[in-house]
Amino acid sequence: MDTKGRSRHFIYTDWILIETQFDPNQLHSKETVFTIGNGYLGTRGSFEEAYTNALPATFIHGVYDDVPVVYTELANCPDWLPLVVIVNGDRFRLDQGEILRYDRQLDVRQGILSRSLRWRSPSGKTIDIHFERFTSLADQHVLGQRCQLTPVDFDGLIEVQASINGYPENQGFNHWEGLDQGKTDQGFWLYRRTRNSRIEIGMAARTTISGTEAALQFNSAPGYPTTSTTFFATSQQTVTIEKIVTVFTSREIETPVAAAQEKLAHLPDYTTLLNAHRNAWDEVWQQSDILIEGDSTAAFAVRYNLFQLLIAASRHDEKVSIPAKTLSGFGYRGHVFWDTEIFILPFFTYVQPAIARNLLSYRYHTLNGARRKAFHNGYKGAMFAWESAVTGDEVTPRWSLPSDFYADDVRIWCRDREIHISADIAYAVWYYWQATGDDEWMHDRGAEMILDTAVFWESRVEFNRECDRYEIRGVIGADEYHEFVHNNIFTNRMVQWHLEKAIAVYNWLDKKFPDRATELEQKLQLSPEQRWHWQEIAAKLLIFYDSSTGLIEQFEGFFQLEDINLADYEPRDRSMQAILGIEGANKRQVLKQPDVLMLLYLMRQSQDFPYNQKALQTNWDYYAPRTDITYGSSLGPAIHAILASDLSQSAEAYERFMQAAMVDLEDTRGNTADGIHGASAGGIWQAVILGFGGIQLTEDGPVANPHLPSGWTRLKFKLQWRGKWHEFDLRQEQVAQEIAHELEFLQLSFSPNSQYQSPESGSPAVLTLHDTDSSVSYPNSPKHQMETSPHSPDIQGFIFDLDGVLTDTAEFHYLAWQRLADQEGIPFNRQANEALRGISRRTSLILIVGDRPYLETQLEEMMERKNRYYVDLIQNMTPRDLSLGAIELLNELRQAGIKIAIGSASKNARTVVERLGIADKIDAIADGYSVQKPKPAPDLFIYAAKQLGLEPAQCVVVEDATAGVEAALAAGMWTVGLGPAERVGAAHVVLPNLAGVKWTDLKAKLNSIATQKK
């Protein structure tokens, strides 16, 4: 099965990440994965009750403080999560007592993190505990937390302590000093300040309790204010504790404590705040969502990565940006890299342009820091820092301190030599302007950034009189395995492009806004001769390009380095630099990440030199095999995915895309504990939209030239181009054909005077009426095959439907549809529900709404709403919900060496399998995401057979619906129907249910049928 991340214990649904088991060995990486936030702050997914060696953290944008060696870092802010539960004297802890049930869920659609447990205390008391938290997207200063407690088998005393921890640490360093704290009517407040940057923070909290009578007490331990309550709980009685926290800093208001208390005093209750938060997320997803059908893992992974970008981006503060590890971990100390402009920004530029404007404005506000760096290094203009924080001054650590006492310190040369970031920022500014037409921002800020960094390049290049060329020597390119090179192609071409655009921007200003042009001429000391010089530099900058082949040399002398075959080093679990050493990698043709290919990707958007199909193919063939794409840099896989897609290498494109998409969910690089890979998350959006969607951005707007992965049946998204939204709904085939086919089948199959004849696999659906007395032939079915084959059936696989076969979730589906129908005022009952057996969610909804007028967007919302209701209902499923006889038959089949698959139209099939506890007995799952045409088309079962590696005639399908039986017969498979003959009578074997069913008996019956047909 591929639903679990190997040992990650994850289930992926449309919108919800479900963790089914607690693993203390993955504590830190899971804290990162379950991060929530709202663009103002991010809170790691640490537990309310704390855990040994945990790394809880809440990071607020812009709250930096000085620290030795690394200059400055985002300060871990006071922890608002602590909530202690004590059951009859036993403190609830995951490392004490016994965990009987565990479930943690991150709902990325609604921005809610929850955890449900059944815990047996050391003294034998069993209690159900449900935690929930959110960081309000509706009001960035509001945080919410809820705990529900239900004793299962005892009556007794429960104590709950709700606190704020004023002693957070950045991995051993505490940035905060205490100022004051105090008590309010229902809670407390805390006032602290960073030690060096002197940023003040004010937090206020209130606690409420319902479901029992209890009083709140206040404990004013210094730096750890707490409200506590003790109550007598009775078995099966639920008590709810809610904590609402407000937070402000002196970055946005002079009196943060007073603001926090004032805000808290006027807030409504928890439920109202949560609803506002949900509504805010609904609005965001209406613009930002990407719908993928046919690949459930990819569908969730894309939404998950977009969620991580959305919660890391400030909506109100233009003096902050998105750190490389977002607001989710301690990695890179919260510093901002080129990751933001090149990898992350495109998503916001084309989907949330107001946020993109904020992110670029951060660079404008740090221009003076860039000017100081240029001056310090002996250059003119603005030289952006490789790592940036508040002021824009360089904060890349000069040295990396090793953990080995006897190892040498490692010099970090990026701060001095990786200078392409100034051109990268200009690139982002230019394309933001092209996409938005935001002349006002370009006039006020963008032009100055592009022009002053062009001044820097003029002072940084060197003129080589011997070859009459300009050079840029002593740099690090995008590929960081080579730390001191001359004329790196990525750097040189980006500088050339930058100077060309600087001239264009100046000419635009001079024509449209001459006063601003004059102002900048004076401020930046620009002259007409200087602009002529820029043009000369651009024309004469050294580029190593073979026009006959299209091959580009990464830097001067690269082709003279020792070549390498990465396959010789497999298998491996670390980077090539770790294997070869820093100097060893420097001397070989091995790349940390795309360099030449990265350049081609950036030039691809406007088809600029040196991008063309010939150059792309030539350089891909040369550089892709030499790139450490697995353990080099997380920035590479998404870019490789796009370029591979351009080259029609669909398998490679999909593999690299999934490598990027799962980097944090699966912790494939082993460093998710440090924080979310923000650049990879942004690259995923680009891979889907620009790669698989094939979006080209033209003067008239975006145009799609899609090449979807083979399993994807639909890709839907929105883009904004110059103030206008463009919606794309890309499909392998039109879903309308699918619906018409299903509805026509339903009309015929439920008619007393008709039969359905399924087509052979892969051919268009054909519906043929037959007299009731005539026999029905299925040309591809075992019945037909047995007429010409004397052999007994060679059964090697079983494909089970879920609903009504292995379990009875039909009732859950009915209740979910009933709730939706009631809300919409549509008549619906159990009789009407019978018509929905075995068919897709969309077709079910079409039948329910009938001829009532609904827009497509309304239908999609209704399907999602129904699914939410259904998912909520199945959360309490356990192995006890397996149908009678199901586990016995599954075990017998496994012992007989029979492969087992699930063939279900449900998009929640994987969740149900996990809940039923049969994941270890299932070899493959074909679900509502796997194929475009659902039952009665045979595609789902054919897909399942392929997953098992079997031919259709080697498989038995167990079904309880007419559509399922017909689909199996059309696929050429043996069929076992469960239920009344009027529903499943076309099956080879009809049984009432699985109770007492033995594989040996079924095998005998199928052999008998085959013998009769000989």
Catalytically annotated residues: 480
- Cα gap 432→388, rounded to integer Å: 21
- Cα gap 241→607, rounded to integer Å: 58
CB 61 within 8 A of CB 314: yes
DSSP string, 767-789: -----TTS----TTSHHHHHHH-
Who's near 748: CB < 8 A, 6+ residues apart? 754, 755, 756, 767, 769
- Cα gap 772→184, rounded to integer Å: 79
Which single residue is written with the structure tokens 């079904």? Answer: 959
DSSP state of 39: S
Strands (E), 165-238: 176-183, 187-194, 200-210, 217-221, 224-233
DSSP state of 340: I
Helix residue spans in 932-988 (DSSP H): 939-948, 962-971, 981-984
Dihedral sign computed on CA atoms, order 822, 827, 830, 836: negative
DSSP state of 898: -
CA proximity to 989, closest of 963, 970, 1010, 971:
1010
- Cα gap 413→474, rounded to integer Å: 11
Which single residue is written with the structure tokens 């990525």? Answer: 490
Q: Which token pair is 288?
A: 């930002």
Q: How many CB atoms lie within 10 A of CB 865?
A: 15
- Cα gap 438→474, rounded to integer Å: 37
- β-sheet with 899-903: strand ranges across: 924-926, 899-903, 797-800, 955-959, 974-978, 989-991
For residue 291, give the H/E element and its range. Answer: strand 291-293
- Cα gap 404→410, rounded to integer Å: 12
Q: Which token pair is 145?
A: 């937390």
- Cα gap 673→653, rounded to integer Å: 27
Beta strand pairing call for 10-12 and 16-19:
antiparallel
- Cα gap 281→365, rounded to integer Å: 29
- Cα gap 393→373, rounded to integer Å: 6
Dihedral sign computed on CA atoms, order 248, 251, 257, 262: negative
